[in-house]
Structure 1
């Protein structure tokens, strides 16, 4: 019993002696770690101050500051461990960090991907807070850019949360990236109307709207000869380029064109017109393209005249009448022969 107590006491004494021997190293490690911790806080504040002047990037300084602080604290922890445990080499720590980093990366791949994408978005600023963007089927105003996701508020009052990795790897349309924005609208006139006069009236109507910029100047272009109308495209610029300004300016310009072109000057606003051609196809002419009327017969240089529906119905009635008359005549002839 005394031997066991003696052995236990020897072990306790060895532990105490080892702790006393390591005590200077522990104190030094704590001091070194405290210095690194203080330096990390200072770096965080410096980074936040340097990024404070970046317009609309209120989260950038906080994210980069925390990242710099974390890296500095981690380096201080490694140095402190090597002071306390002299046999622990930096290579072992790096190797351990690499193995654990790979496992951590596989486990939190999506989170890390969104985090890195968020940092890159905050650094490069392809869009900023209060910008109006279009992403896939979502359109609205950017509310916040965080390290994991970006939130936008749609024009009908909904909040959409989009992961940063999707925003960074896909196309995003930024409607408010520049000061000016161009609007265009296609307007149809009749084929019998004067195109030059219509274009002149449209330009006058556009210039009469106060919201339209004089520079760049608005213009009107003939863009299409459609089935029922001649389409002219009106184009003009506005500032600011936000959604509400876009809608208001479009409303004013279209109303001015409607009043100036169609109401005051009587330019035709054509309705869609379709022409129906009957295809003369019977069993007798089936497969004979030279005898079928579809637009006009193949191989014929003469364009056939279009027939009215009433003429076709009248011809059909005549054919039925003749068929009935022939049937009656055949019946009478067969009865007389009997």
Structure 2
């Protein structure tokens, strides 16, 4: 029965030696990262070397490796003790890996020492440790003075900062990482902080800031009261100065200009008060920034609202020049009507149909303006077609007498008429008369004059024919008749009434009353 038991034991030993766990353990030791290997042990293997053979083999092998020449080997009961020195941690780990490969080695005690070497950044290991501790202490001091970062833990190793703990929000986490990264000697920041989701924890920082704000408000309360007093004083002063009408009437006669100056004065007084308030709070440095921002904003707004600014300036110029007044009948371009009002953006007209026409002041300022009401005297004209066989002089006299008989038509300048055109079927006679617009409506007088002319010419038997065409047929070869003038109704030697040059007197009167410079003189 003993032989089968021995065979079973040998088979179990072979299976263990060939097992994947053992193979992986050996590979892990052979390829382990330097400086992280630790002591190990394994059971006894069949065919193992003696302690003396193990020691001689390791010393012979280490003597052939430059980095392991100073390593000493002691073997007892299958336990290999390595001592001495090695230049680098990798050489220390290599010596241990070589010892593990020999059969019969049950454990390896690695006592090889590695002298302190300068690391990659030129700082000795002990100096690096001291620097890590300094960084760690500095971050703890910084986080201790920040309410939202007081619960954070800091661990620094080889220039790598590990942040752990809880923060109220992501902004606090980002801020902690930025503070750590800003310190000298920090190579990397491992931010493992967690944002607190609880209601109470998230509300606590907000309440803290609210309490701080209330405390600051109490401290600044006297300054706030002083600022309110200054603001009230300058507000009342601005209102008082804006109500001094006599002052603005001396500066300008136009109501729009007065309103603009009044607003400028009020704004200037309020700006002075604002500067004093900033001086009370010792933040006058903001004035330069505000003025610079206002300049850039004004430039941008100038381009964006160019049309509005143009209309505003045009309204200012129109208000100063006053080319028309309320109820003046004017024509601007193709639009005509009576003036309703002039605003800072547009001129409002009302047409004869009762429609409102709004024309931008920039267009009004650039356009030709016909003012039919500026001169109180306005001339109307009425065209009448008289028959070719009628006495044109008699028709003119009848029409002029009819106009003179109208009380609304001015006697000075007197009405007159002249022949405008010799048409195919009639003679075009145009009658003219003047109306005093301040006493009578121009359109009503012109309409009544047309009616009176028609009635007077009908009573005088003056024919006003419609266009007719005479067609005369004659046989072929008949000689063409030569017209012989009819002298049975000779034209009076007195001739037609001549037009009075009344516009010259009115132009001279307008020049004398106008204060603007005449560039033609």
| TM-score, normalization by structure 1 | 0.64
Q: 1:188 aligns with which of 373, 385, 407?
A: 385
Residue aligning to 1:268:
463
Identify the match of residue 340 of structure 2 among 132, 139, 143: 143
SS in structure 2 opposite 1:253? helix
CA distance in 1 between partners of 2:351 and 2:398 (Å): 37
SS at match of 2:349: strand
Q: 1:46 aligns with which of 233, 237, 244?
A: 244
Equivalenced residues, count: 270
Distance 1:231 1:67, change over 3 A: farther
| Distance change >3 Å, CA 58–CA 132, structure 1 → 2 | farther
Verify: 1:111 aligned to 2:308, yes or no: yes
Point out which structure has higher relative CO (alpha carbons under 8 A, 6+ apart). Answer: 1
Structure 1 CA distance for aligned equivalents of residues 369 and 279 of structure 2: 48
- How far did residue 246 of structure 1 move? 1.9
Residue 253 (structure 1) aligned with residue 449 (structure 2): yes
Answer with 154-163 or 206-215: which moved more.
154-163
1:178 equivalent to 2:375? Answer yes
Matches of residues 17-36 of structure 1 in structure 2 within 5 Å? 36=234
Q: Distance in 2 between matches of 1:101 and 1:277?
A: 81
Change (3 A) 1:187 1:213: same
SS in 2 for 1:192: coil
The answer to whether the Cα contact below 8 Å between 1:211 and 1:238 also exists between their aligned partners in 2 is yes
What is the rounded CA distance, in whole Å, between the counterparts of 1:107 and 1:168 in structure 2? Answer: 21
Does the aligned pair in 1 maintain the 2:248–2:261 contact within 8 Å? no
In 2: Cα distance, 1:274 partner to 1:73 partner: 82
Aligned equivalents of 1:264, 1:126: Cα separation in 2: 45
CA RMSD of aligned residues (A): 4.1
- How far 1:60 moved relative to its partner? 5.8
Partner of 2:318: 121
SS in 2 for 1:142: strand
The answer on 1:305 being equivalent to 2:480 is: yes
C-alpha displacement at 1:209, in angstroms?
0.6
SS, match of residue 96 in structure 1: helix
1:152 equivalent among 323, 343, 349: 349
Q: Specify whether residues 183 and 88 from structure 1 end up closer, same or farther in structure 2 by C-alpha distance, changes over 3 A only.
A: same
Determine the C-alpha separation between the residues in 2 that align with 1:71 and 1:167.
31
Tell me, in whole angstroms, the C-alpha distance in 2 between the residues paired with 1:63 and 1:132.
27
The 8 Å contact of residues 181 and 241 in structure 1, kept in 2 or not, is answered as no
What SS does structure 2 have at the residue aligned with 1:258? helix
1:21-58 deviation digits (Å, cap 9, x = unpaired): xx87x888766665554443334223587459x99x76
Matched-pair contact (CA < 8 Å) for 1:223–1:233: yes
1:95-126 residue CA offsets vs partner (Å, 9 max, x unmatched) = 43322111111122222222222232233222
Aligned in 2, Cα 1:103/1:226: closer, same or farther, shift over 3 Å?
same
Query: What stretches of structure 2 of length at least 5 have no aligned partner?
Result: 1-139, 148-207, 474-478, 482-521
CA offset at residue 85 of structure 1? 3.2
1:115-145 Cα distance to aligned partner (Å, 9 max, x none): 2222322332222222232234433332222
Aligned to 2:398: 201
Counterpart of 1:102 in structure 2 is: 299
User: Whose radius of gyration is greater, 1 or 2?
Assistant: 2
Residue 294 of structure 1 aligns with which residue? none
Which residue matches 2:330?
133
